[in-house]
Structure 1
Amino acid sequence: MKTIKIVQTIVISAAALTFFGTPGHAYTRKVKDACSSDYSSLCGKYKQGSSELRRCFESNRRVLSRDCIEALVNAGEVPARYLRQR
């Protein structure tokens, strides 16, 4: 069980890094649109692409909006089970 939580943290971290740190990906606009309110309300004080922002998203992974998680799932950044866990 602890291993699953570590993997989930790594996946969310990678997703946050991708969302905030790599504008060249085609799906970035959809993810940014879906996650912008999460960013603003939870982590807006952190610079996009920063390690602080990644940590903020990791620590708030359980309260990310369904739209944000869905966009991350559709982008292949987090597993579909994240939607079922909500």
Structure 2
Amino acid sequence: MSAQIHAKVFSQRSVALIALSIATALPIVWASAANAVSLRVKLACSRDYYALCSKFASDSPETRQCMRAAGEKLSPRCINALVQAGEVTQAEVSHRAAQLR
């Protein structure tokens, strides 16, 4: 095999490996971005997080579960930020509040 052909085959394999690596990594990056909590929510809920759920990593699914379970204990500031971020609906907040009465 000539040097030019060998270089071309090597180059094609390299491009294929790079493309495969990118294709494999993108869903992981997208999933991380989808699970990220906005800075606004982090700031509004930081006291709630430290008081109720700090044993979990801040952007983990466990923290989301913990905060959801602690719903009635969350501060109004945190709840408002969660509603505005679309993490919870106002209807759900109202429904849970009505259940506590």
TM-score class normalised by the smaller sequence: 0.5 to 0.7
Would you say how many aligned residue pairs link Structure 1 and Structure 2? 63
Q: Which has the higher helix share?
A: 2
Shift of residue 52 of structure 1? 2.8
Residues 1:79 and 1:34: Cα distance change in structure 2 (over 3 Å): same
TM-score (norm 2): 0.51
* CA distance in structure 2 between the aligned counterparts of 1:58 and 1:42, rounded to whole angstroms: 11
Superposition pairs for residues 1-86 of structure 1, below 5 Å? 21-22=35-36, 28-81=38-91, 82=93, 85=97
RMSD over aligned Cα atoms: 2.4
- Name the % identity: 40
The higher-RCO structure (CA 8 Å, 6+ apart) is 1
TM-score (norm 1): 0.58
Residues 1:76 and 1:50: Cα distance change in structure 2 (over 3 Å): closer
Unaligned runs of 5+ in 1: 1-20
Amino acid at match of 1:54: R
Amino acid at match of 2:63: L
Contact 1:69 1:83 in 2 (8 A): no
* CA distance in structure 2 between the aligned counterparts of 1:58 and 1:77, rounded to whole angstroms: 10
Residues 1:66 and 1:83: Cα distance change in structure 2 (over 3 Å): farther
Shift of residue 83 of structure 1? 5.6
